[in-house]
Amino acid sequence: MNFFYKHLLSISVVLFTVLFFLAFLYIDLTGVMFLATKEGLNVILGLFKRAWFLLIPDLLLIPLMIYLLVLYIKSEKSFKKWIIIPSVILFELLYTFVVSMYFMAPGFSFYPCDYNSIVLSYNNVSQVSVTYKNQRYSSTYYDNGFDKVSIMFLGNSMVSSDVFEFIGEENLELSERNLLVMDYPYFSSNPGRLTEKTIYDLVDLHMDMLLNEYGYSFKDIRVIGYSIGTGVACYCAEKYDVSELVLFAPYYKFQDAMNRVTPVFYGPLELCVRFKFESYKRAPNIKCMTTIIYSDSDKVITESSTQALISCFNNKEVVKYHDYTHTMVFRNDNTINYLLH
């Protein structure tokens, strides 16, 4: 018992660090499970194939924690211990809020899906692919021989088959334009690393496919984005002189969407936002007619964020829904017209 009281401070710091690490490991493992699958039922190899990088903070934390503990235990004089104790706690707190936020929070706001609905049996719907860094990336394309086409960029946790399942084969048969829906890296069965640059590079490859392989002209192409995909759509419409741009539930910048999930990305912590998608910077350079569709009841992309973006466009039309949730902004009957007519 005397030993316990004599070394109470040391025991407390050791226990705090061990418990902290176990909690941190648990959070990261939960993050791997959450990001790797839609339902969390994938096999263990599939989990780490999709999201192993989330465990990097833990691998870095182990030697640093051991070093700090050894340094603490070797400090015989009490005043040194009182210097090291807050240092250990401060380091662990900073590590949690900075490193963990950088690795994990962007994923919770923009996490991949690896499932496919069975829609390729629809008439004139097929998978197409582009090659990027020696890897093939697939998307879904509806081609009924029309002269015009829409290219769509998806929201969080969506794959291209979701869109065609929502449209339905009957609506496809009544369409007046073709439709290409691009899947992101790590989404559906696609390989690669989910980064903003990779997404933009894939946009360029898909636009090249429409222009040079399928023979469309810029005036034949309508660009559509939903939620997170609105930032991607703005990139496309700024770079290419397309006929029109349609944005469902757009944001001023992606940081706004992330703060709805994890409200910490302000001030210096803005540096942790790995996906910028700064639509407000691109909007003034977009020449085509832009239709912005949003809801005053959207809890994911707030009305204030959308309105801030609206003010940045020069040539625009605004459609405002009332009492629609974030999902309903896209999943309603009017959407079919923007996609296929």
Q: What is the pLDDT of residues 149-162, one digit of tens each?
A: 999 999 988 889 89
Q: Which of 70, 103, 136 is the last residue of a domain?
A: 103
Same-domain check for residues 144 and 262: yes
Give pTM, 2 decimals.
0.76
Q: Which of 103, 138, 159 is the last residue of a domain?
A: 103
Tell me the chain's radius of gyration from C-alpha atoms: 24
Same-domain check for residues 313 and 179: yes
- Within-domain flag for 115: no
Which candidate, 187, 173, 96, places its Cα nearest to that of 138?
Answer: 187
Q: Which of 52, 73, 103 is the last residue of a domain?
A: 103
* CATH number of the domain within which 257 lies: 3.40.50.1820
- Within-domain flag for 108: no
- Within-domain flag for 120: no
Distance from C-alpha of 23 to C-alpha of 340, rounded to nearest angstrom: 49
If one counts the domains in the chain, the total is 2
Distance from C-alpha of 65 to C-alpha of 19, rounded to nearest angstrom: 12
Q: Per-residue pLDDT tens for 55-86?
A: 666 666 666 666 666 666 666 555 666 666 66
- Within-domain flag for 244: yes
- Within-domain flag for 114: no
Distance from C-alpha of 194 to C-alpha of 107, rounded to nearest angstrom: 9
Q: Per-residue pLDDT tens for 255-301?
A: 887 777 667 677 777 777 778 899 999 999 999 999 999 999 999 89
Q: Which domain holds residue 141?
A: 125-340
Same-domain check for residues 284 and 253: yes
